[in-house]
Amino acid sequence: MSTPQIVAIDGPAASGKGTLARRLAAALDLPYLDTGLLYRATGRLVLDAGGNPADPAQAEAAARRLKPENLDRADLRGPEADMAASQVASIPAVRAALLDFQRGFGAAHGAVLDGRDIGTVIFPAAPAKLFVTASLDERARRRFLEVTSKGLDETLEDVRREMAERDEADRNRAAAPLRPADDAVVLDTTTLDPDAAFCRAMEIVRERLA
Ligand code: CDP
């Protein structure tokens, strides 16, 4: 059996990895999975039940009862969902509960997946791995434009602080911390617009998948 074409896109919040991953998937005709949604939806299920996303038993139970339709909810973005996602994501049992779904998604036909640990844990043998990054100021600016365009009332300073806290938690947790895989190509998008980032990423991915 040939190795499935897996493109692993990891990186910190608002680095441009989601936009990039979606465009790569369309160009390569591969299915796309935003794995952050799994953690966001798990956090939401805990909040819906009036629980605490930092509680390992409650978070694991929510991850185990997650259904595909939970990923379509409209309330998976914004400060509360961001924080709940980051809290459940630091719990090893939650990550274990979501592992099979992610591996199964890419196993049959290949896929582009974006997240924090795709190249390090979910698909360590993926032929193409990108670690997409950008400066904190630029990422905060992008996320600020995104949240204000949705009418959320947050200042740039709030967005920057919350993002820095979440990055710090994602990088320093014991379970699947955010870091580039040894064989990932680092793509810094601080001064790249979405088209330039896409062109550069396509070059790298084409070379790796060839
Ligand atoms: O869009 P943004 O980059 O802000 O976030 P996301 O990719 O939707 O991820 C939300 C949170 O889920 C992150 O802060 C991580 O804590 C967690 N996450 C993770 O641990 N592993 C993944 N593969 C994806 C997300």
Beta strands in 128-180 (DSSP E): 128-133
What atom in ligand 1 is closest to the CA of residue 118? 23
Mutate to test the pocket of ligand 1, among 73, 82, 118 (most ligand atoms within 8 A of CB): 82
Residue 193 lies in a domain: yes
> What is the radius of gyration, based on Cα positions, of the chain?
16
Residue 1 lies in a domain: no
Residue 205 lies in a domain: yes
CA angle centred on 55, ends 99 and 173, rounded to 5°: 60
Residue 134 lies in a domain: yes
Percentage above 90 pLDDT, the chain: 90
Q: Is 123 in the pocket of ligand 1 (CB under 6 A)?
A: no
Report pLDDT for 210. 87
Distances (CA, A) of 18 to 10, 48, 127, 133, 209: 9, 26, 19, 12, 20
Residue 190 lies in a domain: yes
Residue 109 lies in a domain: yes
Q: Is 97 in the pocket of ligand 1 (CB under 6 A)?
A: no
1 pLDDT above the threshold of 50:
no
Report pLDDT for 153. 85
3 pLDDT above the threshold of 80:
no
Report pLDDT for 2. 58
- Over residues 18-42, the mean pLDDT reads 97
Average pLDDT, the chain: 95
Q: Is 14 in the pocket of ligand 1 (CB under 6 A)?
A: yes
116 pLDDT above the threshold of 60:
yes
The reported pTM is 0.94
Residue 93 lies in a domain: yes
Residue 28 lies in a domain: yes
Give the range of the structural domain holding residue 200, as residue numbers without chain letter: 6-209
**Burial category of 71 from C-beta neighbours within 10 Å (exposed 0-12, middle 13-18, buried 19 and up):** middle
> Are the C-beta atoms of 102 and 38 separated by less than 8 Å?
yes
- Over residues 131-145, the mean pLDDT reads 96
Say how many domains are in the chain: 1
CATH no. for residue 61? 3.40.50.300
In this prediction, residue 147 has a pLDDT band, given cuts at 50, 70 and 90, of: confident
CA angle centred on 25, ends 118 and 173, rounded to 5°: 20
Q: Is 119 in the pocket of ligand 1 (CB under 6 A)?
A: no
Q: Whose CA is nearest to atom 4 of ligand 1?
A: 13
